Amino acid sequence: MKRILVIAVMVGAALSLDALSQTTRNKTMRDRRSEVKKARIQIAAQQLKPQSEKNNSWQYYGQKAIDEYKAKNHPAFLENAEKAVQVGPFRHPWLMYQLARAYSLNGKTVEASKLLNDLVEMGLGSDAAENDDFKSLRITGEWAELSKKIAAVKTPLVRSQTAFIIPEPELIPEGITYDPKRRIFYLGSFKSKIISIDAAGRKRDFKVSGQDGLTSVLGMKVDVRRRLLWVCNSTRDGVGFVHKYNLNSGRLIKKYTLDNKPESHLLNDITFNRRGDVYITDSLGAAVYEIPANTDELQILVKLEQGIYPNGIALSRNEKRLFVAAFTGISLIDIGTKTQTELAQDENIALTGADGLYLYGNSLIAIQNANPSPDRIIRLFLNADGNKVEKARVIESNHPLYVIPT
C-alpha cells in the first residue's frame, strides 16, 4: 500500500495572518518551524489560562510554576511543578518535562535524568542538549548515555512520500479530506479558502478566500454517499461556523452558526456516522457539538469534563462512542448516555498532544504535535472493548519537513 504525506500547519485562530507573515518572512525552514511552534505553544497557553484560576488544579500549579520560572525563583518553580505533576493527568509529557527542568535548575540532577529517561521510554525527546536550564545535568556522569537516548528518539523516521506541494508559502493549511469517487483531495486554509487537488495534481480554489462567509478553515470531511463536504471554520473573535456543501456542484447548502456569547468557540474537527449524524469538536468551548440528521440543527452533545482543547475526533467501529483527542489525552464519549471516560493506556504510551485522529480497524492513527519533541504519527492499538490502548507503534517521526503536522 502506498503511503502519502501531506504537510499541514496551523497556528491557531487567535493569531492574525499578517502577524504570522511578518514572523516567518525571510526565514529558513528551520527558523519558520521554530517561530510557528513557539506561536502555537503561546496560543495553547492562552487557552489554558482560564482553567488556571481554579486553586489546587494542575493548571493552577502549572501556571504558577511558569510564573515562578520567569521570575527566576527556581525553588518555587520546582515546588509548583511537582504539585502540577502530582494532581495532573497521568504522565503528561509537558508536565514531566517542566518538572525535569525545575529539578535541573535546583541541582537535582538524578531526578531530572530519571524524568527525561521516562520521556525517552515514551518515545519523546527534549531540548536538554541545547537548553541551558539543563546545564547542571550535562556535566554529570549520566549525561553521556542519556544524551544518546534523546538523540536516538529525535532521529527522523520517514516512511512516507510527498503527495503534492502547494506553492503558497503562507497558505497555512490545516484540514484535509478525500473524495475517493472523484479522486480529489480538499485542503482547508487559514486564508479562509478551500483548495482541491485532483489525481493529476491539478490545483484550483474550490472556494476562494471568504466565499460563502468562510473564515479560517479547520477540519473537513467528505460524505461520499451523500455527496457532501462538511467544513469547520471560526473567526478570531470566537464565532464558530459549519458549512455544508454539495460536493458535485460546490453549492453551499447550509451554514450553521455558534455565536460568541456567552463564550468563544473554535470548531475544530468533524466526523459523521452512517445515518448522517455529524459530530464537531469545539476547542475553546471544551465541548462536542452535533448536527442530528433528523433535525439538521447544530446543538451541543456534551461538555467535556476532563479534556482541555479538544481537537481530533473519530467514531468507534459500532458508532456508539466518540474518541476525542485533547491536550490532556483521549476521551471516550458514549453518544447515547453522554458518559465520559479517559482512554486508558500503559505508562510508556503518550496519548497527549494529538491533533488529527482517525479510526483504522481496531486502532487509532494519531498525529501528535503538542508534546515535547518530536512531532510524530503513531498507531494506537486498542483492546477488544476499545477502552484501552494496549500498544503503540510510531509510523513516522520528526520528518524534516514537519512544521506542526495536523
Residue at 35 is within a domain: no
- Which tens digits make up the pLDDT trace of 221-259? 999 999 999 999 999 999 999 999 999 999 999 999 999
Q: Are residues 381 and 255 in the same domain?
A: yes
Residue at 363 is within a domain: yes
Residue 15, pLDDT score: 29
Residue at 226 is within a domain: yes
Q: Are residues 150 and 177 in the same domain?
A: no
Residue at 15 is within a domain: no
CATH number of the structural domain spanning residue 266? 2.120.10.30
Mean pLDDT of 326-353: 94
Task: Give the span between the Cα atoms of 112 and 89, in whole angstroms.
Answer: 19
- Total count of domains within the chain: 2
pLDDT-derived band at 34, boundaries 50, 70, 90: low
Distance of CA 85 to the CA centre of its chain: 21
pLDDT-derived band at 1, boundaries 50, 70, 90: very low
CATH number of the structural domain spanning residue 109? 1.25.40.10
- Which tens digits make up the pLDDT trace of 194-231? 999 999 999 999 999 999 999 999 999 999 999 999 99
Residue 171, pLDDT score: 87
Residue at 315 is within a domain: yes
Q: Are residues 56 and 96 in the same domain?
A: yes
pLDDT exceeds 70 at position 341: yes
pLDDT-derived band at 13, boundaries 50, 70, 90: very low
The three cell numbers locating residue 356: 488529527
The answer to whether residues 304 and 311 touch, using CB atoms and an 8 Å cutoff, is no
Q: Are residues 263 and 230 in the same domain?
A: yes
Q: Are residues 129 and 183 in the same domain?
A: no
Q: Are residues 259 and 398 in the same domain?
A: yes
- Which tens digits make up the pLDDT trace of 40-82? 455 445 545 545 456 788 989 999 999 999 999 999 999 999 9
Domain edge (last residue) among 154, 186, 215: 154
The answer to whether residues 323 and 343 touch, using CB atoms and an 8 Å cutoff, is yes
Mean pLDDT of 272-293: 97
Give residue 67's identity as a one-letter amino acid code: D
Q: Are residues 149 and 199 in the same domain?
A: no
Q: Are residues 195 and 344 in the same domain?
A: yes
Residue at 6 is within a domain: no
Share of the chain above pLDDT 90, in %: 75
Q: Which domain holds residue 60?
A: 49-154
Q: What is the 3-state secondary structure (H, E, C) of the chain?
A: CCCCECCCCCCCCCCCHHHHHHHHCCCCHHHHHHHHHHHHHHHHHHHHHHHHHCCCCHHHHHHHHHHHHHCCCHHHHHHHHHHHHHHCCCCCHHHHHHHHHHHHHCCCHHHHHHHHHHHHHCCCCCCCCCCHHHHHHHCCCCHHHHHHHHHHHCCCECCCCECCCCCCCCCCEEEEEEECCCCEEEEEECCCCEEEECCCCCEEEEECCCHHHCCEEEEEEEECCCCEEEEEEECCCCCEEEEEEECCCCCEEEEEEECCCCCCCCEEEEEECCCCCEEEEECCCCEEEEECCCCCCCEEEEECCCCCCCCCEEECCCCCEEEEEECCEEEEEECCCCCEEECEECCCCCCCCEEEEEEECCEEEEEECCCCCCCEEEEEEECCCCCEEEEEEEEEECCCCCCCCC
Residue at 311 is within a domain: yes
